[in-house]
């Protein structure tokens, strides 16, 4: 469970937000603070005010995987193998174990042929899959995804969804503009102008957003 209290940072003003375990969709207009909220939860940004807990711990006290929208901003190393191995190296695992885990991860994703490739030679979709592998190879408790699939083709999206399911993350928090995908989530959080307009199960949230463009298409034609 993710608990946010009295959060004030940039455009965000959130007195309280409770996100249960499971898959959660974060929706709302551009500029509403969705990326900022995800970066705060991932520990990338430190808020000016507020308390954050993830499974009873601070963001820095649990394993979090984070992938943002732009592939090049996710990657820190020059080679695919080094990028995917980086979380395991930070955990100081034996080199032989790290190498084997990297190979297995690439095999599961169907991109083992990229293992020795320089990052700059990859396509945007390949970079995103590599970033997702790096975010999930250490079995995160929470996986945070900021519209990471907006540049992926159908095949890459299918591969990415398989990696997400295999990650074992108890909580997956995904920012998306796909309201049909949001409808399939356990929880939906709607953020408008830095404030939570509605949160809870999809039916209740989309009912509260009736009349806006932030509802599944089928809701607009009835």
Mean pLDDT confidence for 121-147? 92
Which domains are seen in the chain, by residue range? 1-55+170-222 (3.40.50.300), 71-140+151-169 (3.40.50.300)
pLDDT higher than 70, residue 199: yes
What is the H or E stretch that residue 146 is in? strand 142-146
Give the integer Cα–Cα distance in Å for 103 and 7.
Answer: 41
In percent, the amount of the chain with pLDDT more than 70 equals: 99
Q: What is the DSSP string of 58-121?
A: -GGGS-EEEE-SSHHHH--SSBHHHHHHHHHHHTT--HHHHHHHHHHHHHHHT-GGGTT-BGGG
Instruction: Give the per-residue pLDDT at 221.
Output: 52
pLDDT higher than 70, residue 220: no
pLDDT higher than 70, residue 215: yes
pLDDT higher than 60, residue 89: yes
Token duo for residue 221: 């034609």
Instruction: Give the per-residue pLDDT at 94.
Output: 85
Mean pLDDT confidence for 25-50? 93
In this structure, are strands 22-27 and 171-175 parallel, antiparallel, or unpaired?
parallel
Give the integer Cα–Cα distance in Å for 197 and 213.
Answer: 14
pLDDT higher than 70, residue 222: no
């Amino acid at each position: 469970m993710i608990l946010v209290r009295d959060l004030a940072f940039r455009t965000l003003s959130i007195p309280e937000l409770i996100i249960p375990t499971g898959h959660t969709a974060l929706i709302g207009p551009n500029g509403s603070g969705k990326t900022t909220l995800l970066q705060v939860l991932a520990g990338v940004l430190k808020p000016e005010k507020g308390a954050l807990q993830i499974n009873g711990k601070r963001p820095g006290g649990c394993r979090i995987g984070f992938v943002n929208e732009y592939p090049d901003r996710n990657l820190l190393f020059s080679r695919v193998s080094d990028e995917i191995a980086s979380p395991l190296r930070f955990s100081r695992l034996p080199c032989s174990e790290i190498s084997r885990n990297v190979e297995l991860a690439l095999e599961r994703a169907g991109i083992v042929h990229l293992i020795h490739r320089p990052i700059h030679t990859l396509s945007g979709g390949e970079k995103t899959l590599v970033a997702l592998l790096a975010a999930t190879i250490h079995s995160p408790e929470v996986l945070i995804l900021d519209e990471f699939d907006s540049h992926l083709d159908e095949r890459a999206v299918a591969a990415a969804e398989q990696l997400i399911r295999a990650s074992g993350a108890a909580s997956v928090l995904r920012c998306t503009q796909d309201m049909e995908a949001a409808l399939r989530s356990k929880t939906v959080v709607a953020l408008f102008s830095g404030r939570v307009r509605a949160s809870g199960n999809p039916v209740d949230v989309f009912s509260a957003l009736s009349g806006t463009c932030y509802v599944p298409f089928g809701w607009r034609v009835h």
